[in-house]
Amino acid sequence: MIEKGPEMKVMIVGGVAGGASCAARLRRLDERAEIVMIERGPYVSYANCGLPYHVGGVIEDEASLLIANPQLFRDQFAIDVRTHTEAISIDAKAKTVTLRDVTTGAERAEAYDKLVLSPGAVSVRPPLPGLDLPGIFHVRTVPDARAIRTWLAANAKGKRAVVIGGGFIGLEMVENLVHRGLDTTLIEMADQILVPLDVEQARPVEALLRRHGVTVVLGEGVTGFATNPSGAIDVATKSGTIYAADIVILALGVRPDTALAKSAGLAIGDRGGIKVDDHLRTSDPDIYAVGDAVEVRDIVTGTDTLLALAGPANRQGRIAADNIAGRSATFRGVQGSAIIGLFGTTVAWTGASEKTLRRLGRDDYEKIYLYPNHHARYYPGAKTISMKLLFAKSDGRILGAQAYGEDGVDRRIDVIATLIQKGGTVYDLEEAELCYAPQYGSAKDAANFAGMIAANVLRNDMPLAHWSVDHTSLLLDVREPSEIADYAVPGALSIPLKQLRARLSEIPRNRDIAVICRSGQRAYLATRILLQNGFTARTLSGGVLAVQQSAH
């Protein structure tokens, strides 16, 4: 028989990603602790990431979003789950939390030895006139998704949707509303959707949305809502344009829910999240905090940041549990790996974007654009991946990557994400041993290929030029005449690659030469020929594809 020692009472506020992970992990490590999980809503451990797909009908059954229920937590983990219970304040000195029964309103204080906060984030709701009109929704919880589905069913004739906010939740809602046959408009205040991406990488995604009938409005702020005479909602914008809608989805982003933390006097960071150390301990050593509510360190930039994603929340929940159970576990920080599927394509990114590096005044980076096939070209069905890789000029450390395509995007970004977390370089990426068969990749995988190109640049085998930089170089286009007929680069001297060796005398030796082809590959070959013949040549990264992509 196990001797029963004094029990530690651990109270966890929030019963979804971070909270539920913490509770289950703690039980696996400590059979004796008393674990109480407090959740304001009706459900614990539900898949909020699946909510847009429930609205769209891809996940038809609401019950399948409920990954675990209170009974399972009780039976399998001996965890005391209290749904419909809100933690309203913390007395850190007395080590008590005041709990309110959401149904009856009854309040009482309950003691803890260790407290974990995983209250998540709250949807941003600016004080706009008409924001509470019927037909305007946000998407955070199962009841939110149910309310949208109910509204859509009751207003089946209404065919116009306006989604406000072009982040990943907004875009997932756009896709699902289109899927339901709604005529959908997306309004985004920034001049691009998916702001973690660099603008040129977002442009093809915006074009994709437009190809699927979505009206994409950029650089436009919403100023208010009103019911129009036909009963629909008029969405007014700064430019004076009115967008009529039968349903409006607000996806304006989230901010950390710090109300409880503030009631306990816990330190809040500059970005507005709960401040935690590497062990996820707050400024009170008996209170831990995890998930969307906390401020974390960005391992690429070294700055403090907020990141509302499920992966970090789940891992942090485990780490807090480890520490409470007496182990010493540390959180490594985040790098912002994210992915979104849209109309059969995938967009994914990890690490820092170029605009972030610039904002931080980092000028020691280089970037490449490449367009490899997702698997061997000779095997049917090869699709192009549009990739951008950012790396440090000094030591080749990988700083970030962004990719877009129909297939194979997730794997490449995950490989790069893993290397970034380990402080890997482009030399590691070119040497990464990745699995290959023709239907999955290439002997030189797209990820290796990115590493090889970047390493070529750093070894000075491929001096690089960029379209974004004004240069006085002579543009040399080494594409075939048929390609130039399709898309000509003004002012470029045309010498197809195959003729280059025989026509070197036509190229001035007193000029810098920037070599262009479709994607950069033939331009690299041409650059090598020119360099070895005494010319000063550079490859225009991404070739014509890079220009066409950013011009969408």
Which residue ranges make up the site for ligand FAD (CB under 6 A)? 13-19, 38-41, 48-49, 51-52, 86-87, 118-120, 139-140, 169, 257, 260, 291-293, 308-311, 313
Q: Is 49 a catalytic residue?
A: yes
Closer residue to ligand FAD in complex, CB, 257/445 = 257
Q: Residue 447 carries which DSSP code?
A: H
Find the shortest distance in angstroms from Cβ 140 to ligand FAD: 5
Residue 540 structure tokens:
């225009």
Find the shortest distance in angstroms from Cβ 143 to ligand FAD: 10
Q: How far apart are CA 94 and CA 546, in angstroms?
A: 61
- CA distance readout (Å), 418 to 150, 306, 422, 425: 42, 20, 6, 11
Closer residue to ligand FAD in complex, CB, 18/135 = 18
Q: Report DSSP letters for 215-249, one per residue.
A: EEEES--EEEEEE-TTS-EEEEETTS-EEEESEEE
Closer residue to ligand FAD in complex, CB, 16/429 = 16
Find the shortest distance in angstroms from Cβ 216 to ligand FAD: 20
Residue 300 structure tokens:
């690429």
Instruction: Single out the catalytic residue among 22, 49, 435, 517.
Output: 49
Closer residue to ligand FAD in complex, CB, 275/518 = 275
From the DSSP assignment, how many helices (H) and strands (E) are in the chain? 15, 31
Q: How far apart are CA 408 and CA 439, in angstroms?
A: 11
Q: How far apart are CA 11 and CA 268, in angstroms?
A: 21
Torsion of CA 121, 123, 127, 132, to 10 degrees: -130
For residue 463, give every residue at least 6 positions away whose Cβ sits within 8 Å of its Cβ, in sequence order, or none: 457, 527, 531, 537, 538, 539
Residue 467 structure tokens:
């379209």
Torsion of CA 431, 433, 438, 441, to 10 degrees: -70
Closer residue to ligand FAD in complex, CB, 118/192 = 118
| Residue with the CB atom nearest ligand FAD in the bound state | 291
Q: Kindly give the pairing relationship between strand 464-465 and strand 215-218.
A: unpaired
Q: How far apart are CA 334 and CA 178, in angstroms?
A: 33
Q: Kindly give the pairing relationship between strand 114-117 and strand 9-13.
A: parallel
Q: Residue 347 carries which DSSP code?
A: E
Residue 241 structure tokens:
């344009």
Return the closest-CA partner of residue 43 out of 177, 171, 190, 142. Answer: 142
Closer residue to ligand FAD in complex, CB, 284/445 = 284
Q: Residue 250's CB: how many other CB atoms inside 10 A? A: 24
Instruction: Give yes or no for a contact between 97 and 115, defined as CB atoms under 8 angstroms apart.
Output: yes
Closer residue to ligand FAD in complex, CB, 329/525 = 329
Closer residue to ligand FAD in complex, CB, 218/309 = 309
- Could you tell me how far CA 192 lies from the centroid of its own chain? 14
Q: Which residues are catalytic?
A: 49
